[in-house]
Amino acid sequence: MSALRSLSLPLLALALAGPAAALTYLVLAPGLAALGAPAGGFDPARMLLLYSDLPRLTTALVAGAALGLSGTLLQQVLRNPLASPTTLGLSAGANLALALATLYAPGLYMFGRDPVALAGSLVAGLLVLGLSARRGFSPITLVLGGLVVGLYCGALASLLTLLNDRYLASLFIWGSGSLQQQDWSVPLSLAPRVAVLAVIAVLLARPLTLLALPDENTRGLGLNTATVRWGGAAIALALAAVVTAAVGVIGFIGLIAPTVARIAGARTFAARLAWSPLIGALLLWFTDAAVTVLSGPLASFVPTGAITAVFGSPLLFLLLPRLRVVDRRPPADRTVRTVRRVNTPLVLAALAAGLVGLAVAAVLVGRATDGGWDAVTASILPYVLDWRLPRVLAALSAGAMLAAAGVILQRLTANDMASPEVIGVSAGATMGLAVSLVLVAAPSVAMQLGFSFTGAALVLALIFLVAGRSGFAPERIVLAGIALNAMLDAFVGLFAAAGDPRALRLLNWMAGSTYGIELTPALTAFGLSVGLVALACLTMRWLDILPLGTATSQSLGIAVKRTRGLLFTAAVGLTAAATLVVGPLSFVGLMAPHIARELGLKRALPQLLGAALCGAALMVIADFIGRNAHFPYQLPAGLLSALVGAPFLMLLLLKRR
Amino acid sequence: MTPTDLLSRRGFLAGCAALATAPALAAGPGDAPRIASLDYGLANTAMALGVTPVGLAAAAHWKDWVVEPPLPRSVVDIGRDREVNLELLASLRPELILATPYVQALRSRLEDIAPVLSLAIYTPDGNPLERSYAAARSLGERLGREREARQFLDEADAFLADCAARVARAKPGPALLINFMDSRHARVYGAQGLYQDVLDRIGVTNAWDGPTTYWGFQTIGLEQLATKAGPDTTIIAFEPIPGDVEPTLAQSPLWTQLPPIAEGRYAVLPSVLTFGTVPAALRFAQLFTDHVDPEGRR
C-alpha cells in the first residue's frame, strides 16, 4: 500500500494501461493482421475484431469510467470513503429490477432497459439513504444500509431464480456482468448517456467540492447543500443504472477506482473527478483483457463483472486498515423517549409460551395431499413427526442462535445495523460448501459439515488476523464482513453463470432450506442452541458495559481487547452453527434484537433471551410458510425470513425518531 | 410415423404384454407398477416402457422441457426435484422411486417411503447415450418389462440407423447446436453430451470442438460461433428463445454475416430435454434429421 501511495497518478495509469494494452494486443493481433489482408467473404478474424473485440474494449472503457465517476460522486456527496454503486446496493437494485422485468413484465423493455434499471437503483438508493438519514449518513450506517438492501435484492433475485430455474443461467449472466459484444449497439448507446451525465458532474464540480466542508461553512457561502447533495447523488445513481442496464453488475470498480485515486495522491475532489474515471476505465479494460486472454485456457465462461468482484472485494479488505477508525460512543440519548417500564419476566414468559404454541402448531397443521388445510390426525402422526419435527426444531434453533449472535454483535459494535450476516462467517461457511461441491461430485452430509465449518473457521482466523491488530475495532470487523459477503456473491455468480448444474445445489443451500435436516442433527442443533445461548448469557455484564466505549470500559476494569475477542468468538460460534441450518442469508440476527428492544427488553440479559425467543419464533414462521405457501413446492426458510425480515427492519428504523 | 407415435403405441403393446409376463413389481396382471420419478429423463424412459409415473418432480413444467409425449393429467406434481414433497410422495404409495445421483442427498428419506432406483446418466465419464440405454435395460428389469425394454432399444437402434441413412443421403455439413441465454450469450452443445452421442450415431460432425462441462455444454458469447461456423456449417437453435434475441441479432453484422445465417442454414427447432435419456435422443435425432432431410419425413 505504501508503495502504491508513492506512485504518482500518471505512473499508476501507465502501469495499468501498459499490461492492458499488451493483453489487448494478444486478443486483437489476428484481427489486425486480417484487416491488412484484402477483404473477401466472411473472415472470422476480421469480423471478430470489428464487431466483437473493439465494441467490447469500448464498452469496458466507458463502463469503467462511468462506475469510477459514480463512486467518486457518491463518496463526495455522502462524505463517505466507502460509498460506491456496489456498497450502496444501487447495482443490486438495478439488477433485481431487470430480473423482475425479464420474468414478469418483458413489455417494460419497450422503452429499453434503462428505465427499469433506473427505477431499481432509485428504490434501492432511497431505501439506503432513508435507512441512514436518521444517523446523519454516518459512513458505517450508510454502508451497512447498502449491504442490507443489497442482500435483500440478492435474496429476492435468488428466490426468483429458484422458482424459475430454467432462467438460472440467463439471470446469473446478467448479475455477473458480462462484457461480451456482437455489435456496436451497447457501447454506442452507453457512451452518450455517460457523456451527458459526466458533463453535468463537471458543471457541478465546484459546489460539490464545497460539500466536503462542514455544513455551517457551506451555508455561510450561500450554498444550498441539500440540492447539491441530491443532484450529485442523482447523477451517480443514473450512472450506475445505465451501466447495469447495458452490461449487468460490474462489482467494485466504482469503489476501487476512487479509493486508488485517493491513495495515489488525488487529494482534491477535482483531481479525483478527473482521475477516478480514468483509473476505473483502465482497471476494467485490464481486467476484461485478462479475462479474454485467460478464458481460453480456462475453458469456461467467465463474466468480467464476477472477476472484478472476486478481485475487488479483497482489495476492500486490504484497504480497511487505512481507514480512520474513531472510537465512537453512541450519541447521548438521541431520543426524548419515555422509558416504558415493562415486567421483564412476564414479557419473557409470554414470548416463551408463544414460541411453544407456534412450534406445536407448525408441526401439527399443514397442507393435506389434495392441497387443502388439515390438522394432523393420529394415524399419520408418526410420519409427520418424522418429516416436520426436525425442520421445525432446526428452524427454531437456528433462529435463536442467530438472534443471540445479533444481540452480541449489536451491543459490541454499538451499532444497531450489525448482524451475524454481516460479519462474514456465514459467507465463509457457504464458501466452504461451494469448495466441497467443486472437489467432490456428491459430498456426503458429514463432508459438507466439515467443509462449511472449515470455511467458517478460516473466516474467523482472518478476522482475528486483520482486525486483531486494531483491538477489534467494531467498524473494521463489520466492514471486513462486507468484503467477504461480496466475495461469496462473486464466487457463486461465477459458478452459476457458467451454467454448472451444481450451482443450483449451492443456491439451494444458500437459500437456507431446512428441507434436508433429519431428527438427529435437528436435536443436535437444538441442544447446541440452548447451550450456546446459555453461555452467551454469562457475558451479559460485558455487554452492558462495552457499548459505553473503550475508555469507560477500561475504567470499569474490563480487559477490552480480550473481552471483545471472546464475545466475537461466541458470536461466530452461534452464527456458524445456525448458518449450517438456514444458510447465510437471513435477517433474523438483525431483527430479533430490535424486536426484543421494542418490547421493552433493554438490558443485555433480558434482550438476549427475548431476542432468542423472537428469533426462534420468526424462523418457525418462515419455515411454516416455506413448507405450505407454494404447496407442493417448498420455499426456503432462510430466504423467506430475509424477505419478511428486511422490510420489517426498514420500517422499524424509519419509525424511530 | 414419429418415434413418439411409436412410443405410445408401444406403450399400449407393452401394457398388453404385461398381461402375459410376470412383472417384478406389478401387484397383479395388467397393473402398471406405481412408480414416482425425480428425474424427467427416467420418467420419459419409463413411459416408453409403458409405465406412467403416479408422481413426478416438477410435473408442471414437463410441457416446456420435454414436450413429447404429453404427460397424462393423472400424474401428480410432487414439487422441485431437490426438495420433493415427502408427505405428498408418501401419500401416492409408490412401489419404486426413480432418482439420479443428482438427488443423492434425498436417498435415505426416499428409502423410508419406497425402494429407490438411482441411475446415473450424466457423469464425468461421459457416454450419456450408452448410459441411457443401460438405464432403460435396468428399468425394464426392475419394472418387469425386460421384453419391452429390449424391443424399445432395438427400435431405437433401428430408428437411429434410419436417421443415419437419411443423413448420409442429405449430406449436411457440420452442425452447431445452441440454446440462447440472452441476446449476447448461448449454450453450445458438444463433447460428453447426449446430442454429441446422437450426432456420432447418425454421422454428423459437431462444429463445436471446444471444451464442455460433463453435462455436455459450454456457455459462450455468441461471437465465439464465428470461428466455428465454416462455409457449410448449419446452426440449430432450440426453443425457447428469449423475446429480445432475434431483433437484437438482426442488427448485429457479426451475426447476420455469419455464413450459416447469411446463407440461410439456420433453424429453430422445438425444445428437446437437454439432459434427457433415450426418448430425448430419439426426439433430437428425428427433429434434426427431418430438418436436413425434409423429404424423408414420415
A199-218 residue pLDDT tens: 999 998 888 888 777 766 66
Amino acid of residue A201? A
Please state whether beta strands A365-367 and A373-375 pair in parallel, antiparallel, or not at all (unpaired): antiparallel
Over residues A522-537, the mean pLDDT reads: 88
Q: Which residues on neighbouring strands pair with residue B245, listed in sequence order?
A: none
Say whether A180 and B80 touch across the interface (CB within 8 A): no
Q: Which residues on neighbouring strands pair with residue B180, listed in sequence order?
A: B186
Q: How far is A167 from chain B (nearest CA, A)?
A: 8
Predicted pLDDT at B213 = 80
Question: What is the predicted ipTM?
Answer: 0.76
Please tell me which residue, A139 or B120, carries the higher pLDDT value: B120
pLDDT digits (tens, 9 = 90+) for A342-375: 788 999 999 999 999 999 999 888 887 777 777 7
Over residues A130-141, the mean pLDDT reads: 69
Residue of chain B whose Cα is closest to the Cα of A169: B181
Please tell me which residue, A502 or A104, carries the higher pLDDT value: A104
Give the span between the Cα atoms of A194 and A533, in whole angstroms: 52
Predicted pLDDT at A398 = 93
Q: Which of A397-411, A474-488, A590-604, B100-114 shows the lowest per-residue confidence on average (mean pLDDT)?
A: A474-488
Q: Which of A139-148, A319-328, A437-446 shows the lowest per-residue confidence on average (mean pLDDT)?
A: A319-328
Is the confidence at residue A299, as pLDDT, over 60? no
Domains and CATH numbers, chain A: 2-23+54-318 (1.10.3470.10), 345-655 (1.10.3470.10)
Output the nine-digit C-alpha cell for A635.
420455499
Largest CA distance in chain B: 64
Residue of chain B whose Cα is closest to the Cα of A515: B83
Any CB–CB contact under 8 A between B263 and chain A?
no
Is the confidence at residue A4, as pLDDT, over 70? no
Interface with A, mutate which of B218, B254, B272, B275 (most A CBs under 10 A): B254
Q: How far is A633 from chain B (nearest CA, A)?
A: 4
Which residue in the set A42, A631, A632 is minimally distant from B257, CB to CB? Answer: A42
pLDDT digits (tens, 9 = 90+) for A440-491: 766 676 677 678 777 777 876 776 676 656 555 655 666 667 667 767 777 7
Is the confidence at residue A220, as pLDDT, over 80? no
Interface with B, mutate which of A27, A42, A165, A500 (most B CBs under 10 A): A42
Chain A, window 501-540: residues with a beta carbon less than 8 angstroms from a chain B beta carbon: 501, 504-505, 508, 513, 515-516, 518
Predicted pLDDT at A324 = 55
pLDDT band at B35 (very low <50, low <70, confident <90, very high): very high
Any CB–CB contact under 8 A between B250 and chain A?
no
The DSSP element (H or E) to which A373 belongs, if any, is strand A373-375
Across the A:B interface, residue pairs with CB atoms under 8 Å apart total 141
Which residue in the set B88, B220, B242 is minimally distant from A632, CB to CB? Answer: B88
Q: Which of A163-177, A544-558, B115-129, B154-168 shows the lowest per-residue confidence on average (mean pLDDT)?
A: A163-177
Q: Which of A1-10, A28-37, A592-601, B274-283 shows the lowest per-residue confidence on average (mean pLDDT)?
A: A1-10
Predicted pLDDT at B28 = 44
pLDDT band at A1 (very low <50, low <70, confident <90, very high): very low
Is the confidence at residue A191, as pLDDT, over 80? yes
Phi-psi region of A375 (alpha: psi -120 to 50; beta: other; left: phi over 0): beta
Which residue in the set B123, B227, B254 is minimally distant from A182, CB to CB? Answer: B254
Residue of chain B whose Cα is closest to the Cα of A505: B82
Predicted pLDDT at B163 = 95
In chain B, what are the helix, strand and coil shares in percent, each to the nearest 5? 50, 15, 40
Chain B, window 68-87: residues with a beta carbon less than 8 angstroms from a chain A beta carbon: 77-80, 82-87
Residue of chain B whose Cα is closest to the Cα of A382: B87
Q: Percent of chain B, pLDDT > 70?
A: 89
Which residue in the set B64, B181, B244 is minimally distant from A169, CB to CB? Answer: B181
Torsion of CA B283, B285, B289, B295, to 10 degrees: -40
pLDDT digits (tens, 9 = 90+) for A248-275: 888 789 988 998 888 888 888 999 999 9
Cell 455477473 sits on residue:
A176
Q: What is the Cα gyration radius of chain B?
A: 20
Please state whether beta strands B96-99 and B116-118 pair in parallel, antiparallel, or not at all (unpaired): parallel
Q: Which residues of A touch B114 (CB under 8 A)?
A: none
Residue of chain B whose Cα is closest to the Cα of A163: B80
Is the confidence at residue A307, as pLDDT, over 80? yes
pLDDT band at B23 (very low <50, low <70, confident <90, very high): very low
Predicted pLDDT at A137 = 66
Say whether A170 and B242 touch across the interface (CB within 8 A): yes
Say whether A633 and B210 touch across the interface (CB within 8 A): no
pLDDT band at B1 (very low <50, low <70, confident <90, very high): very low
pLDDT band at A318 (very low <50, low <70, confident <90, very high): low
pLDDT digits (tens, 9 = 90+) for A620-639: 999 999 988 888 888 888 88
Q: Percent of chain A, pLDDT > 70?
A: 78
Which residue in the set B85, B104, B255 is minimally distant from A634, CB to CB? Answer: B85
Please tell me which residue, A503 or B197, carries the higher pLDDT value: B197
Say whether B254 and A500 touch across the interface (CB within 8 A): no
Say whether B112 and A384 touch across the interface (CB within 8 A): no
Is the confidence at residue A436, as pLDDT, over 70? yes
Over residues B91-101, the mean pLDDT reads: 92
pLDDT digits (tens, 9 = 90+) for A236-254: 999 998 998 888 888 789 9
Predicted pLDDT at A280 = 94
Predicted pLDDT at A7 = 55
Please tell me which residue, A643 or A185, carries the higher pLDDT value: A185
Torsion of CA A4, A10, A12, A15, to 10 degrees: -150
- Please tell me which of A232-241, A375-384, A572-581 the model is most confident about, judged by mean pLDDT: A232-241
pTM more than 0.90:
no
pLDDT band at B20 (very low <50, low <70, confident <90, very high): very low
Q: Which residues of B touch A445 (CB under 8 A)?
A: 105
Domains and CATH numbers, chain B: 3-155 (3.40.50.1980), 171-296 (3.40.50.1980)
Over residues B201-230, the mean pLDDT reads: 87
How high is the mean pLDDT of chain A?
79
Is the confidence at residue B286, as pLDDT, over 90? yes
Give the span between the Cα atoms of B122 and A620, in whole angstroms: 37
Any CB–CB contact under 8 A between B120 and chain A?
no
Any CB–CB contact under 8 A between A214 and chain B?
no
Over residues B59-84, the mean pLDDT reads: 89
Is the confidence at residue B149, as pLDDT, over 80? yes
Q: Which residues on neighbouring strands pair with residue B69, listed in sequence order?
A: none
Q: Which of A20-34, A276-290, A312-326, A567-581 shows the lowest per-residue confidence on average (mean pLDDT)?
A: A312-326
Which residue in the set B78, B187, B227 is minimally distant from A44, CB to CB? Answer: B227
Which residue in the set B88, B213, B244 is minimally distant from A369, CB to CB? Answer: B88
Predicted pLDDT at A52 = 86
User: How many C-beta neighbours within 10 Å does residue A225 have?
Assistant: 17
Please tell me which residue, B148 or B25, carries the higher pLDDT value: B148
Specify whether the CB–CB gap between A598 and A604 falls below 8 A: no
| A459: exposed, middle or buried (Cβ count in 10 Å: 0-12, 13-18, 19+) | buried
Say whether A369 and B243 touch across the interface (CB within 8 A): no
Is the confidence at residue B203, as pLDDT, over 80? yes
Say whether B221 and A52 touch across the interface (CB within 8 A): yes
Q: Which residues on neighbouring strands pair with residue A47, listed in sequence order?
A: none
Interface with B, mutate which of A182, A385, A506 (most B CBs under 10 A): A182
Any CB–CB contact under 8 A between A169 and chain B?
yes
Predicted pLDDT at B151 = 95
Residue of chain A whose Cα is closest to the Cα of B55: A632
pLDDT digits (tens, 9 = 90+) for A486-513: 677 777 767 766 656 677 677 777 788 8
